[in-house]
Every structure is written in structure tokens, then in C-alpha cells.
A = this chain, B = another copy of it.
Amino acid sequence: MDREMKNEITLEFDAVSVNEGFARVAVAAFITSVNPTIEEISDVKTALSEAVTNAIIHGYEEKEGKVRVVCLLEGDRLTVEVKDKGKGIENVERAMEPLYTTKPELERSGMGFAFMEAFMDELEVESAVGEGTTVRMRKKLGTESYLGDEE
């Protein structure tokens, strides 16, 4: 594939936990075209899983709703956006602190945002109470291929 080729996919699905696995497989299949390493695939799957789970359990509080995932590849640069129209976050900064969780009764560890930060290169969170939340993550993929590349 052309190094600077753009390719975009959108997934939209019902906010039910059985679709967490579907979303991971779909996004992993989408990024294979740029030959990511196994570790990179695992990183992206984990970060995506955190964001999608959050939309389902915090955004919609396990009631009905739609989760939208937009993935864009520009060459080997991946952007993943996970969007819900759920309850939103009052204080994004506090929500992003490791170990902070509003659902300890569901055994949430408060590590979701920390994992997204650790496994991706960039993380942005936009949220408005009553309107919903958008999580945007970026990562450069296939970094191991540099050695053999003539650029």
C-alpha cells in the first residue's frame, strides 16, 4: 500500500458488552494492511477495549445506545475515535487520574484512561454532561519496519 495512502472505516454498534470483542477484531483487521507488530496490535486492542467498555458502562450505564468508532490510517499513522452520546463526564481531568472510578461496585479499577495513555502515543478526551464523550487516540504503527526502509 502507498505509504501516505488514507483509509477510513467507521463502526457503529449497539452498546452491549458482546460487541466489545467484535470491535477489537474489526479494528485489528483494519490495521493489518500496514503490517503492525504483534505488540502494536495488542496495544491498540487494549486501548480500544477500554474506551468501548467505558462508553457502554459509564456513558450509557448499560442502557440502550450506540457506540461509534472511527479509524483513520494515514500511511502508518492511526487515529481511533470512540464516541458515545451518553451521560458525559463532569470533570475530565479527575476522571483521567489513575485509580479514579465512579463504579467500584462493578469492580472497575480506574485504570482505563491510564491504559489508553500507556498503549497509545496520544490521548484526547472531549466530554459534555448530558451530551456524551469522545475519546481520540493516535499511534504510529509498524515502527519496526524503519530499518529495512529507504525513505
On whether the beta carbons of B10 and A13 are closer than 8 Å, the reply is yes
Dominant secondary structure of chain A at its interface with chain B? mixed
Taking a contact as CB atoms closer than 8 A, the residue among B1, B14, B22, B29 that contacts A21 in the complex is: B29
Taking a contact as CB atoms closer than 8 A, the residue among B7, B11, B12, B16 that contacts A18 in the complex is: B7
The number of residues on chain A lying at the interface, defined by a beta carbon within 8 Å of a beta carbon of chain B, is 20
Q: Which of A1-38 contact B (CB under 8 A)?
A: 1, 6-14, 16, 18-19, 21-22, 25-26, 29-30, 33
A residues with a Cβ closer than 8 A to B are 1, 6-14, 16, 18-19, 21-22, 25-26, 29-30, 33
Residue contacts A-B, CB under 8 angstroms, 6 given = A1-B18, A9-B19, A10-B12, A22-B33, A25-B25, A26-B29
